[in-house]
Structure 1
Amino acid sequence: MTDPKPTAEPVARWGDLKKRLISAAFMLVVGVSELWLGGTSFALLIIALTGVMFWELANMTAPGRVRTPLAMGVFAAACLAGGVLFRDDLASTLLILPGLALALTPRRDRRIATVYGIAIMVAGYGLIDLRSPGLPAILWLIAVVIVSDVAGYFVGRLVGGPKFWPAISPKKTWSGTVAGWFGAVLVSLVFVFTGHAPWLTVLLAPVVAFAGQLGDIAESWVKRRSGVKDSSSLIPGHGGFLDRFDALIGAVVLIMLLSLAGSLPMPAPLGG
């Protein structure tokens, strides 16, 4: 009797690990340096990334066009820059305008594109706003998103089990989702024990992690409806910037919405 042939399941299970590691390294080098610099340098990076991600969205929902998506991306970056400069009520209007522009141009799924476009703008504004008081708040947010994603990735593939939302994101499992919540709690405990965050941050963390997971699923939904695998090919072999920052968009949008109701138990600088 011959031994059964080895299946390709282990290879398929870990096939995208290299891509994720390279993407994480890229984000780490650029992100850490810009987070440390803060101020105008960080704001310019976020404005540029927002414009690129808006271009990716416009391009996915209106395939075959070239000038219109590019113009949309430039317009989005300009609106975010204006919102950061003028703040207050004018900022809200400027953040909505690019999304409305998507609704007024020929494309598929206009409503979805409009809502997601506004989410991209709000996330860009929120990242700049969260960095302005200091590093702890935005470091906590990014750490929650990354750790919950990594925990969900490994536990989901090792444990498996029931799918979270198979119609939209067939790879995500409930085991990975719950693991992401635990990872977010552990991140918050580090900030609590170092004196940078109140205990209520531990309760906020899994909610933010879940919003990040939904942000990932939302982008997968947009891509599925657009019939594309990646948002673009700007990062060679690894898709586009929306593919890398979709979870962060969901998390930041939630923080911005919750902040409308009052102050949140977010990490703050020592003595802040």
Structure 2
Amino acid sequence: MTGAPQPAGNRWADLGPRIASAVVMVAVGGAAVWFGGWALAGLAVAVTGLMTWELSRMTAGEGYDASILLGVLAACVLALNLWVPAAWPLALLLLPSLIGVMAARRDSAIFAAYAMVIVLTGLCTVILRQSVGLEAVLCIVLTVVASDVAGYFAGRSLGGPKFWPKVSPKKTWSGTVAGWLAAALVGAGFWAAGHGAPGLMLALPLIAFAGQMGDIAESAIKRRAGVKDASNLIPGHGGLMDRFDALAFAVIAATLIQPFFPFLPFVRG
């Protein structure tokens, strides 16, 4: 199955808003990651709350919409885990998922699983920054951004067979593979700069693939909800879930594979 090329006038219609919004996101997110500490923790708490709100709205059923309350709950749960020096707040990470499925909701299991992913993403991002430094988060973010940008331009320019048309109609194999190649180039760049070993060029495509699966998972949720974007919070990009879906899965994947890939630049021997 091949995808028909988009009309020239429409192919890049959203490029301007995407670039402007991306500049703002990079500036805010980059500053938070650079300074770490309270700046990154505060941003993670805010993004976690807003993403949970978006997820709840997309999966809400008939009756009272508790999306705002669930967003606040998720933000508070993450804040407790980040700022209370104890182990007991870890148990509270399940609260947004458990309380969210008590309300009338479509796809309760999907909500519970993805709500947990959202909270864990915020927690893992801050932990990586605090425990192993700026380089950890920078490596993951650059991998996701490079994969997304390469996939966007390759998919729009080359087109070709769809990667998973029933779930994500716009994603092509050309864009997917371009994303892997871009991630490998990021790995080559870190290696050339003296950070990590050549195996980094194999590890980062795995992280990029996890990010692509995060993008597809969020696309599936949107299709089931019958919406184009998670929200309209970000001009040209939709909602926060539309932008951080890939990063969410990539951060969790990097955290899971970290002990098994000693050549990653953020694993200190």
TM-score in terms of structure 1 length: 0.89
Tell me by how many angstroms 1:256 deviates. Answer: 2.8
> For residues 62 and 13 of structure 2, what CA distance do their matches in structure 1 show?
31
Any residues of structure 2 matched to 1:175-194 within 5 Å, and which?
175-194=174-193
Task: Give the gaps of 5 or more residues in structure 2.
Answer: none
Q: Deviations over 1:72-92 (max 9, x none)?
A: 011001111112234775354
Residue of structure 2 equivalent to 1:245: 244
Tell me by how many angstroms 1:157 deviates. Answer: 1.6
Assess, with a 3 A threshold, how the Cα gap between structure 1 residues 66 and 33 changes in structure 2: closer, same or farther: farther
Identity of aligned residues (%): 47
Tell me by how many angstroms 1:160 deviates. Answer: 1.4
Relative contact order: is structure 1 or structure 2 higher (C-alpha 8 Å, sep ≥ 6)? Answer: 2
Q: Provide the secondary structure at the position in 2 that maps to 1:229.
A: coil
> For residues 7 and 210 of structure 2, what CA distance do their matches in structure 1 show?
30
Assess, with a 3 A threshold, how the Cα gap between structure 1 residues 237 and 182 changes in structure 2: closer, same or farther: closer
Q: Is the 8 A contact 2:163 2:173 kept in 1?
A: yes
Which of 32, 39, 42 aligns to 1:44? It is: 42
Residue of structure 1 equivalent to 2:75: 77
> For residues 157 and 210 of structure 2, what CA distance do their matches in structure 1 show?
23
> For residues 146 and 140 of structure 1, what CA distance do their matches in structure 2 show?
10
Q: Deviations over 1:75-116 (max 9, x none)?
A: 001111112234775354222221122222211000011111
Letter in 1 for 2:68: L
Residue of structure 1 equivalent to 2:17: 19
Tell me by how many angstroms 1:67 deviates. Answer: 5.6
Residue of structure 2 equivalent to 1:93: 91
Any residues of structure 2 matched to 1:108-119 within 5 Å, and which?
108-119=106-117
Q: Is the 8 A contact 1:182 1:206 kept in 2?
A: yes
Residue of structure 2 equivalent to 1:120: 118
228-237 vs 136-145, which deviates more? 228-237
> For residues 183 and 14 of structure 1, what CA distance do their matches in structure 2 show?
21
Aligned residues: 264
Which of 110, 114, 127 aligns to 1:129? It is: 127
Which of 68, 73, 81 aligns to 2:66? It is: 68
Q: Is the 8 A contact 1:258 1:264 kept in 2?
A: no
Assess, with a 3 A threshold, how the Cα gap between structure 1 residues 177 and 254 changes in structure 2: closer, same or farther: same
Q: Is the 8 A contact 1:59 1:65 kept in 2?
A: no
Residue of structure 2 equivalent to 1:159: 158
> For residues 6 and 248 of structure 2, what CA distance do their matches in structure 1 show?
34
> For residues 86 and 265 of structure 1, what CA distance do their matches in structure 2 show?
32
- For the pair 1:222 / 2:239, whether they are aligned, the reply is no
Residue of structure 2 equivalent to 1:35: 33
> For residues 63 and 44 of structure 2, what CA distance do their matches in structure 1 show?
25
Letter in 2 for 1:234: L
TM-score in terms of structure 2 length: 0.90
Assess, with a 3 A threshold, how the Cα gap between structure 1 residues 127 and 95 changes in structure 2: closer, same or farther: same
Task: Give the gaps of 5 or more residues in structure 1.
Answer: 1-6
Q: Provide the secondary structure at the position in 2 that maps to 1:164.
A: strand
Q: Is the 8 A contact 1:136 1:196 kept in 2?
A: no
Aligned Cα root-mean-square deviation (Å): 2.2
Which of 85, 93, 103 aligns to 2:101? It is: 103
> For residues 205 and 75 of structure 1, what CA distance do their matches in structure 2 show?
33
